[in-house]
Amino acid sequence: MNRTIISVKNLVKNYGDFQAVKGISFDVQEGEIFGLLGPNGAGKSTTLEIIETLREKTSGEVIVDAFNLDKQPNEIKKIIGVQLQSSGYYPGLNLVELMQLFAGLYNKNIDPMTLLDSVNLRDKAKNKYKELSGGQKQRFSIATTLINTPKIIFLDEPTTGLDPQARRNLWDLIIEIRNRGTTVIITTHYMDEAEVLCDRVAIIDSGKIISLASPDQLIDDLLASGFERTKQVKLANLEDVFINLTGKHLREE
Ligand code: ADP
Ligand code: MG
């Protein structure tokens, strides 16, 4: 494989006098899980929303699956899946009704139950969105990105605020979606998550990419520079203890 599906060159975004994205460049390969890592305010969401055609860029070039963002934004929209802000969901509709509503927006015929099944929400089909737990809401919102059978999906901090069980469950789902052939771009500020999920990561800080490689490569580079941890690391961490004590099964349903 190794075909470039997204190419970003010298992307700049100014909000008035403030430059939020300062000329970043990166490529995403077809079929990979690509992570944009960075602290709050780094410019991750701005970058994603520009590629998703939802925000105007100031300058730079963005190509998605050979379509130029400036000339063919509608072609790009057809092949991507984007998570809506949760405020966009009518709280009083049930999951099947919401799925049908979104399918209508995409002008697609879908079987809501198949999609709900694919994110393990068949049992909640008749429940209203507002009745879902945090993890279920995230799974539902990922299902909505799959309605138009996209080539690429964009996930902006999909696990923020979830408990360890729900987080791991979502990781499995994201890996499953990628294994079915979909390219995934994800933002996160959880490094353990990036290490588990991402084939490659770009570390972005104050609007600049300061490093880009596989997690393994970045760690090896750091060690090669002479870095040593001040405290000897044990072969398990507190999250392992927690999962071991409380189990991996979801608690929310
Ligand atoms: P991240 O997703 O990495 O947390 P964002 O892309 O949301 O970062 O924001 C990057 C910077 O741009 C932040 O300093 C943020 O305050 C600023 N910013 C984001 N959106 C706007 C906006 N609509 N108007 C002005 N500044 C904004
Ligand atoms: Mg953000």
Question: Does 157 map to a domain?
Answer: yes
Task: From 137, 166, 146, 145, select the one nearest 248 (Cα to Cα).
Answer: 166
Starting from the CA of residue 208, give the closest ligand: 1
Within 8 A by CB and 6+ apart from 208, the residues are 22, 23, 24
C-alpha gyration radius of the chain: 19
Q: What does the alpha-carbon distance between residue 50 and residue 120 come to, in Å, rounded to a whole number?
A: 31
Please name the residue that has the structure tokens 């999609």: 115
3-state secondary structure of 244: helix
**Separation of CA 1 and ligand 2 centre (Å):** 30
Looking from the CA of residue 13, the nearest atom of ligand 1 is 12
Q: Which amino acid is at 160?
A: T
Q: How many CB atoms lie within 10 A of CB 57?
A: 20
Q: What does the alpha-carbon distance between residue 127 and residue 118 come to, in Å, rounded to a whole number?
A: 17
Q: Where in the chain does DSSP place strands (E)?
A: 4-15, 18-29, 33-37, 59-64, 67-68, 80-82, 152-156, 183-188, 200-205, 208-213
Question: Does 118 map to a domain?
Answer: no
Give the CA distances from residue 216 to residues 190, 199, 251, in Å, rounded to whole numbers and listed in that order: 16, 9, 32
Question: Does 143 map to a domain?
Answer: no
Question: Does 117 map to a domain?
Answer: no
- Which residue from 19, 44, 46 has its CB within 8 A of the most atoms of ligand 1, so it is best to mutate? 46
Range of the domain at 36: 4-88+148-246
- Which residue ranges have their beta carbon within 6 Å of ligand 1? 15, 18, 20, 38, 40-46
Starting from the CA of residue 44, give the closest ligand: 1
Q: Into how many domains does the chain fold? A: 1
pLDDT tens per residue across all 253 residues of the chain = 579 999 999 999 999 999 999 999 999 999 999 999 999 999 999 999 999 999 999 999 999 999 999 999 999 999 999 987 666 678 789 999 999 998 988 888 899 999 999 899 999 999 999 899 989 999 999 999 999 999 999 999 999 888 898 899 999 999 999 999 999 999 998 999 999 999 999 999 999 999 999 999 999 999 899 888 887 778 888 888 888 888 888 776 5
**Separation of CA 15 and ligand 2 centre (Å):** 15
3-state secondary structure of 63: strand
Question: Does 132 map to a domain?
Answer: no
| Atom 16 of ligand 1: nearest residue by CA position | 41
| Atom 12 of ligand 1: nearest residue by CA position | 20
Question: Does 108 map to a domain?
Answer: no
**Separation of CA 188 and ligand 2 centre (Å):** 8
Looking from the CA of residue 204, the nearest atom of ligand 1 is 3
The encoded tokens of residue 252 equal 């929310």
Q: How many CA atoms lie within 13 A of 24 on its CB side?
A: 29
Question: Does 136 map to a domain?
Answer: no
- Is the pTM of the predicted complex or chain greater than 0.85? yes
Question: Does 113 map to a domain?
Answer: no
The CATH number of the domain holding residue 26 is: 3.40.50.300
Give the CA distances from residue 107 to residues 65, 101, 104, in Å, rounded to whole numbers and listed in that order: 21, 10, 5
Which sign, positive or negative, has the C-alpha torsion 227, 233, 235, 240? negative
